[in-house]
Each structure stands twice: as C-alpha cells, then as structure tokens.
Amino acid sequence: MERMKAIVLNEPGKPEQFVLSEIPVPAVKAGEIRVRVQAAGLNPVDYKVAMNGHPNWQYPHVSGVDVAGIVDAVGEGVTQWQVGDRVVYHGDFSKPGGFAEYSTTVAHTAVAIPDGVSFVDAAAFPCAGLTAYQILVRKMHMQRGQSILIHAGAGGVGGYAIQLAKLLGASTIIATASPINADYVRGLGADYVLDYNQEDVHARVMEITANEGVDLILSSVNRATSQKDLSTLSFGGQLACIAGAPETVADFQPSTKTFTLHKLMLGGAYGSGRKAEEELAAMAAEFLQLIAEKKIDPVVNKVISLEEIPQGLKLLSERHVQGKIVAKIGG
C-alpha cells in the first residue's frame, strides 16, 4: 500500500503532541476527490478540537481543515473535476484533513483556484475568510455607511473582516488588538484600534460613536465579551458571535437596544446536508475572486513546512499571530 508523510495525533492532546509519521495514502470513495496537497492553512479549530478529540476520529488522525492542491484521483460519480485541476476547500473537521501529502473531500465542497492565485494564498483563507464573509455578507448584509466593531483584528477572521468591511463601504471600522499589532491592523483598514488590555473597549466605542453605538459587531472572544457587546450596539444593530453567544438575550433591556443576534460555526455545514456544504464552495468561489482581483489580501504572515506544523499550531494557540500561518507541503 502506498504511503505518505503526515502530521498526526496518536491520541487527543496539545499542539506539541502532533508528530510526523508515515501512513497509508487515503483511498478515494464515490463522490469524493483525492488531492495532492500543496498547501494547508493552520486554524484555531485544528488545535482546539485536538485537545479532546472527536468521536468520529480514528487514530492516528490527520487534522487540517484548509487544503489547497491538485486533484490526484476522482471517485465514482464525480464529473465536475479532472485529475490535474487546482482546487481549494474547507474540510470536515470530523474527518481526516490536510496536514499530509494527500487528502480527500466530498467533490462538491471544492472550488477551482483562479489563475494567478498561489496554493499558499488559496490555503490561507477558507476557515477564517469564509467565516468573515458569511458574517458580513451572508448574515449581516453589511451596507455602505454602517459602522462595525471587530474584536481580535490581528487574527485571521478579524483581518479578513476588516478588509471586507472596508470593501463594503463601512463608515467606521473599530478593531481591538494588542499594541504590538496596532499598526498592522490599521494597515488592513481599521479607523480605530483599541488596546483591549488597557482600555475599556465598550466605553471607547460609545465615545467614538457619540453614544449611539455601532451598527455591527463581530465577537470572537468569549460569552462575557459578547454580553457587553449587546450594550454597545446601535438601535437595530447586529451581533455575530463565533466564540460564545451572550448568556442573557431574551430579557435584555432597554428597548432602545433592539438587536439581531447571529451565532455562527462554519464547520457546522458538514452534517447539515448537501445544500449547506455547497454553500461553502459558493462562498469560497466569491471570496477567491476578491483575492484574484487583489481586493483582499490573503494575510499570509508565515509559511512553514509540513514538519513545522506542530510548532505552528503551538504559536497559533498562544493567540498573538498576525494573519495566517500556512504550511507549504507539495511543490
């Protein structure tokens, strides 16, 4: 049986427990494609789920939800892809992923990489970029002239969200970041960068907006922060949470703070039916076009090797990475 190099977990654990190994190349099943991986993006979900594992995992397990590469084989019934096609996809974290020389996915979740977009840039965006895109475009329907607060502006989701907000014509973009990342976040398009360690973020937002609050908030911190966010919204504002919704919503007062709440988990598309999975690919195609047209920077901060993925995940877990870390695996 043909074998491949992969970064695996032999049991649930921390980033440093990911190890380099040789395992069988995955077989391609009906409705799937197998990809010769050229690059894989690193994301918080990769180390967070690894801590406790997943009921569907069999060990040794390969993580990595963001994969870009070349179609190596097509399964029975697959007609939209041919061997040699360049593709990228956001994978199902309950199944083996892309921290390996080969990986498989359901064919309808992949999207073609446009000419001029590298494998590294393509692998950088799916998890973080599609989360930001789903929030601002699909859920909030952000309009020109609206204001927004984006927590963790230096991270992957935050960095893409700032750029999208700018592209969509936001009137005011407020982001939180540590002082060391302030210039980077301003460079992405933030009008104000607040130091979440030294400033009362919510009080400053109200000050900046003349006590009216912001139209939109992207909260990626925790439940407590999301709870405070509610009071920072303008009348009819929208709060999107990707790391814990507010504890108290039904009885939230006053009526001058009427709001809409969005709770998102991009990976939840898997297991929700084919329509949800195809939506991942549709959003990816739209987002890739923005990258191809140079309207969105893929925010690749660091390119590492397959062998360096454990160190990269550890760095990511320390929560002070600007932009994205991508592992270049093939080529």
Look up residue 200 and give its DSSP letter: -
Please tell me the distance from the alpha carbon of residue 157 to that of residue 115, in angstroms, as a whole number.
24
- Bridge partners of 87? 69, 112
Mode of pairing for the β-strands spanning 324-328 and 102-106: unpaired
Chunked into runs of 10 residues, the chain (331 residues) has average pLDDT values of 93 95 97 98 94 93 97 97 98 95 97 97 96 96 98 94 98 96 96 94 96 94 83 92 74 68 83 88 96 97 96 90 93 67
Please tell me the distance from the alpha carbon of residue 252 to that of residue 296, in angstroms, as a whole number.
37
Distance linking the first and last C-alpha atoms of the chain: 23
Model pLDDT, residue 226: 83
Model pLDDT, residue 290: 97
Please tell me the distance from the alpha carbon of residue 223 to that of residue 213, in angstroms, as a whole number.
19
The answer to whether the pTM exceeds 0.85 is: yes
Model pLDDT, residue 264: 83
Model pLDDT, residue 268: 82
Phi, psi (5° rounding) for residue 187?
-65, -25
Quickly tell me which residue has 């700032």 as its tokens.
Answer: 162
For residue 169, the Cα-to-chain-centroid distance in whole angstroms is: 22
- For residue 46, the surrounding DSSP H or E stretch is helix 44-52
Model pLDDT, residue 245: 74
The tokens for 120 are 């590294």
Phi, psi (5° rounding) for residue 23?
-135, 165
